[in-house]
Amino acid sequence: MIYTPNTKKALKLCFEAHKDQLDKSGIPYVFHPFHLAEQMTDEDTTIVALLHDVVEDTDYTFDDLAKMGFSESVIEALSLMTHGDDVPYMEYVAKLKNNPIAKTVKLADLAHNSDVTRLDVVDEKALKRREKYAAAIRLLNE
């Protein structure tokens, strides 16, 4: 992971925001964004990896993140990565394709979320989700 004052701020926020959440297997959710952040190669992608689900899955807002001093490029990428309930999934993925920060983080996110070895039970729902993620990866790589 890249350690700068901003990535450390994002790391702390990520932990605080997700500390009580668990993934589908009961593992602390925070390990997912940490895993993504470990793969990133610059400050902005590291921050976005750490914070990619904060607005979508917690009470934090983009205004909160802006007030904390995160850059416009980070806020823009996070906005693209936040999937609204009213937007079809593949449309959401297509919108972030042209933002290099969002695209880089989303590809890592999709790869990690496609790893069914993370799950205790691999059922039909998990396999369908993996197929959806494979289609999203193809779209991003076109």
pLDDT in tens, the chain (142 residues): 899 999 999 999 999 999 999 998 889 999 999 999 999 999 999 999 999 999 999 999 999 999 999 999 999 999 999 998 899 999 999 999 999 999 999 999 999 998 988 888 888 988 999 999 999 999 999 9
CB burial class (10 A; 0-12, 13-18, 19+) of residue 40? Answer: buried
Please choose, from the candidates 47, 45, 56, 46, the residue with its C-alpha nearest in 3D space to the C-alpha of residue 21. 56
Architecture of domain 5-141: Orthogonal Bundle (1.10)
In 19-31, which positions are buried (b, 16+ CB within 10 angstroms) versus exposed (e)? Answer: eeeeeeeeeebbe
29-36 contacts: CB < 8 A, separation 24 or more? 32/112, 34/1, 35/112, 36/105, 36/108, 36/109, 36/112
Active site residues: 56-57
- What is d(CA 24, CA 27) in angstroms, rounded to the nearest whole number? 7
> What pTM value is reported for the model?
0.95
What would the pLDDT profile of 109-121 be if each residue is shown by its tens digit?
999 998 988 888 8
Q: Which amino acid is at 63?
A: D
CA dist 57 to 16, 20, 123, 137, Å? 12, 12, 24, 22
Q: Where are the domains of the chain?
A: 5-141
Q: In the beta sheet, which residues pair with residue 108?
A: none
